[in-house]
Structure 1
């Protein structure tokens, strides 16, 4: 579903993303981990077209990532959720439904709002929503069109424990339905139990890309019992 080849993003002479390549398959949830400044968000923004890549090739569903056919296949949930100040929660979902020509959207919208405890906030304007509620609206809008691939950039930040638990359940359902999910985060425990594969970034490079068990077998010295231990070991300063 996603193929990234030789992706480079420069800011002046500095490489925020330094010649990385990877693929994602259908029905796969991949955790993109790294400390702040590792290049995770830049990578994701290049993939979805919010940043112009310096070099490299990106294909989504076999299409160039900037092609309209590719854009129809994915949803992107940014780290900082953006909502329209003068649209209500329900109107956000209606807008997405009309933009993506989602049939019979009301029932699904109501189910999503119920999952994220937004039903009683349906008529609340975007400008009056807390960051956590904006994040929930952003996730609901991303899920409504039933995309084939979803890009989540730090999805758990700002969510309450119930919403985090429900989001993990949704991830599992999406995987079961053959969807492809890329989750960028520095909160290691948010993906440890649900990711099929882990990619670890440091200084713009991918320094590990495999299943958790294989990464442990490759890099662990016997004392690294968790993904957090492995992550800290791989990303520590030399």
Structure 2
């Protein structure tokens, strides 16, 4: 479970996140939507423990800055940040050692094959395209068998095969009880799997909605534009 309570993030006098609260239950996929500058990336970085903030965030009951929380959380950033002088295989080994994983090599090999990186294992991080770097990030996050995962624009730069495999992986994680947040502008990419959505504008959650509460005949795109281009905001 991912739980955010009364989160506020300030940069000087500018408030990037203003008193946000949300809960993602095990096996649920929450889609984070909003225009550029709405505060989505700031929220994600706070959840991942990369920024200081006011309020409280827990991962399966543990403070998000704790070792226990970090061991259960996977993060795929919008811009992959690989070590330039480590190979693909060394990235997998680095993650395995950092998380003290046992018998990880078969799973690592399976993930690399799945995302068509098995023939790139000796390539350095700096030698990979952005799409390949993104696939390495996905493999590293999945290797730890996380109980919560944050995806920030995960489809950007991926080829059609990788997009299909990532969607399949998300469905598998969901079935396995993983709590997930996906931030994306590609609304159609999450239409079939989402459970809840939080639509952000101006650093606030303007609307939180469960799939079953969506008006008959409407879809996620309709909801998004009704909030971001409608006559007013509805606070969650």
Q: Which moved more, 1:64-73 or 1:38-47?
A: 64-73
Counterpart-to-counterpart distance in 1, 2:170 and 2:193: 8
Q: Could you say if the C-alpha distance between residues 107 and 185 of structure 1 is closer, same or farther in structure 2, counting changes exceeding 3 Å?
A: same
Q: Which residue of 1 aligns with 2:112?
A: 113
| Number of the residue aligned with 2:148 | 149
Post-superposition Cα deviations, 1:88-146, rounded to whole Å, max 9, x if no partner, equal 11111011111111111111111101111111111111000000000000010000010
Q: Distance in 2 between matches of 1:216 and 1:158?
A: 33
| Aligned-CA RMSD value | 1.4
- CA-CA distance at 1:213 after TM superposition: 4.1
Partner of 1:96: 95
Matched positions, count: 231
Please report the TM-score for the alignment, with normalisation by the length of structure 2: 0.94
Work out the CA distance in 2 between the residues paired with 1:141 and 1:234: 35
Runs of 4+ in 1 over 6 A off after TM superposition: none
Residue of structure 2 equivalent to 1:231: 224
Q: For structure 2, list consecutive stretches of 5 or more residues without a partner in the other structure.
A: 232-236
Give the equivalent residue in structure 1 for 2:165: 166
Q: Alpha-carbon deviation of 1:62?
A: 1.1
- In 1, distance between residues paired with 2:15 and 2:186? 24
Displacement of 1:164: 0.9
Q: Secondary structure at the match of 1:136?
A: helix
Corresponding residue number in structure 2 for 1:2: 2
Task: For structure 1, list consecutive stretches of 5 or more residues without a partner in the other structure.
Answer: 218-223
Q: Distance in 2 between matches of 1:237 and 1:192?
A: 21
Q: CA deviation at 1:58?
A: 1.1
- Other-structure match for 1:221: none
Q: Does 1:15 align with 2:8?
A: no
Deviation at 1:229, TM superposition (A): 2.4
The CA deviation at 1:216 is 3.1
Task: Give the aligned partner of residue 84 of structure 2.
Answer: 85
Partner SS for 1:72? helix
Q: Deviations over 1:39-60 (max 9, x none)?
A: 111001011111111x211111
Distance 1:67 1:105 in 2: 24
- Greater Cα offset, 207-216 or 20-29: 207-216
* Superposed displacement of residue 170, structure 1: 0.5
1-side partners of 2:214 and 2:230: how far apart? Answer: 19
Deviates more, 1:178-187 or 1:126-135: 178-187
Number of the residue aligned with 1:185: 184
Contact 1:208 1:215 in 2 (8 A): no
> How far apart, CA to CA, are the structure 2 residues paired with 1:86 and 1:237?
49
